[in-house]
Amino acid sequence: MDEPRITVMIPVFNMQETITRAIDSFFRQDYENKEILVLDGGSTDNTVNLVKQYGGSIDYFVSQKDGGPSDTMAKNLKHATGDLVAILGADDWYNPGALTAAANTYKEHQADVLYGDCRCIHPTGERVIKSAKKRVLEDLYYYNAVFTNAAFVKRDLLEKYYEQYWHKNKKKLHISTDHYLWLLLYHQGKHFEYIESKDALTNYSVSGRSAENEYEGCMDDAEIFRLVVGNDSKAVKKYLPKFKRYFAARTILYYEDTMAKKDFEFELKKYLTEGERYVIFGTGHIGKKAERLVRLCKGRLEYFVDNNYFANTGEYLNCKVCSPESIKQEKNLSVIISALGCENAIMRQLAGMGLDSSIKVIDYSDICENIQNTLGVEILADAWKKGVIR
């Protein structure tokens, strides 16, 4: 088949520091049958002037106030002519060969959605490639398991999404509309195909609105689950228990900001003990939450272990990061598993290591789910509506 046309849409608002990097990464692609749409939400910094410097090289540019990235994409998708559409954040950028890899995968598989790997750039400067291939697409029922800036979707499906679903439900969502898109298409049985590539397709800055407003994102995920699964009783039975578990793992610390703070601390002490030695298995966002729980209970965090992060070296949260093998030398401590979705695999890994019988293994998600089952989620929902937590 002919080379598919690829449209890259970049929604932007006040991103003068990074917008040229995103646009330049598009023009550096060695793929010819492409176009770029830059959709500015009425920036008040120098973003517009920077975009205008590209002149006619930009296939379509608009600058006007909008209701956010999804709103401007819904309004301007009519200007896209590609067979495939990609959405690139204004603070993200493509690596060389990304569009070619997507096009080659599309020609081979004719998939509805193509998705690939992403390199996450942390505030510490660490660069970690997140493998989309290792992720389970079924996890879309629990969180956004697709890296949106490394995904490509058929234009007609995106048009249908905005016309039939997003417009009707946009007031119910805040920052996670891309998750709504991917779960909806997956639940409908659309064909997803992984993009094989030598390098990550894109680079993602671990910052921004979605990172700062986590609870808002969690509330969105709960609404997305209701919108997509709805009255599908089989899907509810299959996916709701694990969704509640994931929700608890991500929101547990928000009890500290509510009237239930003392109850939360009382329940937490049923699982973690003052003065006890702990090792946390898994770094990243959930590892950070587990570290906070240990500190709340005045436990002694010895170090983190992780199979991949920082290549098992360096530091995280001012603690040493080691190989899991280091636990073999330990006695009289507890290992907290803090890797969502990987708990069973890590349990098997630890069981096969021949650890001393004094080593206890604790599942972070179990703690969170048990506490949330006791305290209820209504406290959190009410606090969020009142602006107490965000």
- pLDDT surpassing 70 at residue 124: no
Over residues 271-279, mean pLDDT: 97
Per-residue confidence (pLDDT) for residue 284, from 0 to 100: 79
Per-residue confidence (pLDDT) for residue 176, from 0 to 100: 86
Per-residue confidence (pLDDT) for residue 320, from 0 to 100: 92
With cut-offs at 50, 70 and 90, classify the pLDDT of residue 214.
confident
Q: Do β-strands 360-363 and 334-337 pair in parallel, antiparallel, or remain unpaired?
A: parallel
With cut-offs at 50, 70 and 90, classify the pLDDT of residue 246.
very high
Per-residue confidence (pLDDT) for residue 128, from 0 to 100: 75
- pLDDT surpassing 70 at residue 302: yes
- The CATH number of 6-228 is 3.90.550.10
Q: What angle do CA 259, 365, 204 make, to 5 degrees?
A: 95
Say what percent of the chain tops pLDDT 70. 96
For the chain, the average pLDDT equals 92
- pLDDT tens readout for residues 179-209: 999 999 999 999 999 999 989 999 988 764 4
Tell which residue, 245, 204, 238, has the closest CA to residue 221. 245
Over residues 156-179, mean pLDDT: 92
With cut-offs at 50, 70 and 90, classify the pLDDT of residue 210.
very low
Q: Put residue 242 in one of left, alpha, beta given phi > 0 → left and psi -120 to 50 → alpha.
A: alpha
Over residues 37-44, mean pLDDT: 96
Q: Put residue 269 in one of left, alpha, beta given phi > 0 → left and psi -120 to 50 → alpha.
A: alpha
Q: In CATH terms, is domain 261-372 a member of 3.40.50.720?
A: yes
Domain-by-domain residue ranges, the chain?
6-228, 261-372
Which element (helix H / strand E) includes 88?
none
Q: What angle do CA 160, 23, 71 make, to 5 degrees?
A: 30
- pLDDT surpassing 50 at residue 312: no
Per-residue confidence (pLDDT) for residue 154, from 0 to 100: 98
Same fold yes or no, 6-228 and 261-372: no
**Poorest-pLDDT segment among 204-208, 213-217, 324-328:** 204-208
Over residues 245-249, mean pLDDT: 95
- pLDDT tens readout for residues 336-368: 999 888 899 999 999 999 999 999 999 999 999
With cut-offs at 50, 70 and 90, classify the pLDDT of residue 212.
low
- pLDDT surpassing 90 at residue 315: no
Per-residue confidence (pLDDT) for residue 209, from 0 to 100: 46
- pLDDT surpassing 80 at residue 309: no
Over residues 96-101, mean pLDDT: 97
- pLDDT surpassing 90 at residue 316: no
